């Protein structure tokens, strides 16, 4: 869970860095170059399979964990637990499901077009023309809203996930653990805000 999660968190950083090139203001040239590099690079191709496996492992373990934990308390409490714990940590499966639904929408919008599983929209020049796809998609306020709401929930998920992964791996330190918690919060905010900038840019500025 923790290892797959940390791997996915690393992927998000690369994904965000590439996507932010769309905001360069050069009509998507820098972004198109990055996409070309990534789609033609065999190492990246190999990584796509590992990434896919990472998602599957993380989702499968998450479901197993949740089912087992639910069955560990067959009779629920009458009065809800009042224990003061982080709100984010209690709703990991819920935010996880929202992220999964978003992931399916997102793959239908972009990745599956590249694979040829979904028909190429008229406005796109080629299967790799993600910039034109993004322009048309995000100028629809409903799509932009779905994306931004999903990123907010992704932020909630990551807020707990970052420090939790270190704890699960036994990496706990009197001095560094508080720092990990701060870094985790900054990371969750950066990912959530960073990805939200893209639909906002196409909706209001582009």
- Name the residues that contact another protein, by CB under 8 A: 65, 68-69, 71-86, 89-90, 92, 160, 163-164, 167-172
Quote the least distance from Cβ 177 to another protein, whole Å.
8
- Between residues 33 and 87, which has the closer beta carbon with respect to another protein? 87
| Among 30, 50, 19, CA closest to 147 | 19
Quote the least distance from Cβ 78 to another protein, whole Å.
6
- Between residues 18 and 66, which has the closer beta carbon with respect to another protein? 66
Quote the least distance from Cβ 6 to another protein, whole Å.
14
- Between residues 80 and 119, which has the closer beta carbon with respect to another protein? 80
Phi, psi values for residue 15, rounded to 5°: -60, -45
- Between residues 42 and 80, which has the closer beta carbon with respect to another protein? 80
Q: How far apart are CA 197 and CA 29, in angstroms?
A: 18
List CB contacts of 50: < 8 A, sequence separation 6 or more.
7
- Looking at residue 24, the DSSP 8-state letter turns out to be G
Q: Packing angle between helix 2-20 and helix 176-200, nearest 10 degrees?
A: 40
């Amino acid at each position: 869970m923790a290892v797959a999660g940390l791997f996915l968190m690393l992927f998000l950083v690369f994904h965000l860095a590439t996507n932010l090139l769309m905001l360069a203001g050069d009509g998507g040239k820098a972004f198109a170059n990055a996409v070309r590099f990534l789609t033609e690079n065999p190492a990246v191709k190999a990584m796509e399979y590992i990434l896919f496996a990472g998602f599957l492992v993380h989702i499968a373990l998450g479901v197993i964990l949740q089912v087992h934990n639910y069955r560990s308390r067959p009779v629920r409490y009458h009065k809800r637990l009042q224990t003061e714990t982080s709100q984010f940590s209690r709703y990991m499966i819920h935010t996880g499901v929202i992220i999964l639904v978003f992931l399916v929408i997102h793959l239908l919008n972009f990745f599956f077009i590249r694979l040829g599983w979904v028909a190429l929209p008229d406005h796109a020049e080629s299967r790799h023309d993600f910039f034109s796809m993004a322009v048309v998609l995000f100028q629809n306020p409903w799509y932009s809203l779905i994306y931004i709401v999903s990123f907010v929930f992704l932020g909630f998920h990551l807020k707990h996930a970052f420090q939790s992964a270190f704890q699960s791996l036994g990496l706990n330190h009197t001095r560094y653990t508080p720092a990990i918690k701060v870094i985790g919060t900054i990371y969750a905010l950066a990912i959530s805000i960073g990805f939200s900038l893209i639909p906002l840019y196409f909706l209001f500025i582009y």
